[in-house]
Amino acid sequence: MMIKRMLCVSLLSVLFISMFAFAAPAARAQQAEAPKQPVVYTYVSFFGVPRAQWPAYEKNLASGHKVFDSLLADGTILSYGDGVLEVHEGLNAPTHIGWFASSSVAGLMKTLAALRAAATTSADFAYTMHSDAITMSTMYNGKGGTTESGYVLVQDWTPKPGHAEEFRDLITKYRKPSLDASVADGTLSGYSLEEDLIHTDTPGSYTLIAVFPNAAAMDKFYGEIEAMHKTQPLFGDVYSSTVDYATHRDHLLRILYSKSK
């Protein structure tokens, strides 16, 4: 499930995507009565790749699929993928993001060890930045499968001091049913509410990751948010009172490759 605050040099933890493992096997059904689902941990890596090296970098990503597929088959990981930023965020910001998710931290560490053991020195990229994040999620839904298309929207939110529980309650009561419905009707391929497990930045932030099969689905998603504000006019005011809008950020990724059970 994805992801961490995907780009404040953090997507979506994406980071993605968180991002992303959008489909933990035992947790795809809506769980209104028990919103806390089994924890999914996601390891997210952020890379700044010089534009001239994008084609070579993206072609080289396929070299890791064999390792990931083996770990996916034996249950070590739940999903993996790679994405590229569609809205660029300036110098020394990430341009590409990779992720893999597991039901345990041990699964993440086993995957890292396998990737290092299989690494070659054939590809030499002059990265402008690199950082990693580990996130966790107990609120997610999604459909498994393999894709080489789609988009990931990453929204960073920081509750005001003392309002974290209220923020999660609002997400659970108002946003989760709508998100689950969007997964059911195909508007979303998946979603996840992420928080950092390893705090490399100020603790207390959450990242909402939404995965779309195509750009038209994003238009529908934003339309549904506008409709919700009309049918539940108090939601916006209550939500605004719980978060620090000065720290809010959005990030947009295009999926290069993603695979999950």
Which tens digits make up the pLDDT trace of 154-209? 999 999 999 999 999 989 988 899 999 999 999 999 999 999 999 988 888 999 99
Answer yes or no: is pLDDT of 11 > 80: no
Which tens digits make up the pLDDT trace of 76-117? 999 999 999 999 998 889 999 999 999 999 999 999 999 999
Identify the burial level of 16 via C-beta atoms within 10 angstroms of its C-beta, where 0-12 means exposed, 13-18 middle and 19 or more buried.
Answer: buried
pTM as predicted: 0.84
Q: Please report the pLDDT score of residue 132 as a whole number.
A: 96
**Gap between the Cα atoms of 18 and 140, Å rounded:** 10
Q: Please report the pLDDT score of residue 20 as a whole number.
A: 40
156 close to 246: Cβ distance less than 8 angstroms: no
**Gap between the Cα atoms of 157 and 163, Å rounded:** 12
Alpha-carbon dihedral sign for residues 142, 146, 150, 156: positive
pLDDT average, residue stretch 5-22: 40
**Gap between the Cα atoms of 92 and 28, Å rounded:** 37
Q: Please report the pLDDT score of residue 97 as a whole number.
A: 97
Answer yes or no: is pLDDT of 1 > 90: no
**Gap between the Cα atoms of 69 and 148, Å rounded:** 15
- Looking at residue 159, what DSSP letter applies? B
Architecture of domain 25-260: 2-Layer Sandwich (3.30)
List the structure tokens of 141: 């839904």
* pLDDT confidence bin for 230, thresholds 50/70/90: confident
Tell me which residue has tokens 């249950």: 75
Q: Enumerate the domain spans of the chain.
A: 25-260
List the structure tokens of 112: 């890292």
